[in-house]
Amino acid sequence: MTARYAIYFAPALQSPWWQFGTQWLGRDEHLDRLVPQTTVPQMSAQDLQRMTSHPRRYGFHATLKAPFGLRDNYGEDDLRARMQALARTLRPVALGPLQATALGNFVALVPIAPPQALAALANACVTELDDMRRPLTDDDLARRSSDTLDARGLELLHHYGYPLVMERFQFHFSLTGPVTAPYTQQVLMAVHNSVAQLNASAPLVLDRLCLFVEPASGKALVRIADMELPA
């Protein structure tokens, strides 16, 4: 399989939010290396590693355009150029305070009051670059379709290659993969103070588009470029 690319938002490298996410997941997605993971009271290191294994592969990020393959007539340089051109048309979005919450069976950070401009920015990333996306194969569609997708979800999957876009979009930073209720509460308690301190001292602004690459199926995604948004 050829590489897949994703358009994410990730906090600036070495920023306080980036340091929090990197230490929580135990991975630097830019250098593609594991780092010492934070400790959680009354939780074993092994349990935390297991719960964070799924988001660790992707790196600390919020999805704007989910991983996709490029059409044969486009290359990575073309995608970088188009992303840079798109970034020049967008403006930073102050996200306001974030909070940890359960989204279904996983824990994520979400804006307490998502700004209206956030959905518009995400929609632009989905639609303005979609002509570069390689269409899903029948096998892809069969694998990604599930009994949980309703008619609209299937429509979005077929049209954009991913069902959680447009009005189904929810901006979030995944902190865990699937977890049971007792672990959910432990995670919520573990990050509460850190998130509150970050909200107060370093309010998060979506100020860049980040290009991530999955070199081969199942490999960890690597952050290869940031396109800052003009103020």
pLDDT at position 224 is 98
Phi-psi region of 147 (alpha: psi -120 to 50; beta: other; left: phi over 0): alpha
Q: According to the model, what pLDDT value does residue 41 have?
A: 85
Q: Tell me the pTM.
A: 0.95
Q: What is the pLDDT of residue 12?
A: 98
In this prediction, residue 143 carries a pLDDT of 78
How many other β-carbons are positioned within 10 Å of the β-carbon of residue 148? 8
Token output for 17: 């939010």
At residue 1, the pLDDT reads: 57
pLDDT in tens, 41-88: 889 999 999 999 999 999 999 999 999 999 999 999 999 999 999 999
pLDDT at 139: 81
- What are the φ/ψ torsions at residue 58 (nearest 5 degrees)? -90, -20
Task: Give the DSSP letter of residue 132.
Answer: G
Report long-range pairs for 108-111 (Cβ below 8 Å, ≥24 apart).
Answer: 108/172, 108/173, 108/174, 108/175, 108/176, 109/172, 109/173, 109/175, 109/191, 109/195, 110/170, 110/171, 110/172, 110/173, 111/171
Domains of the chain by range and CATH? 4-115+172-228 (3.90.1140)
Q: Average pLDDT by consecutive 10-residue portion of the chain (231 residues)?
A: 92 98 98 96 93 98 97 96 98 98 96 96 97 90 79 93 94 97 94 98 98 96 98 87
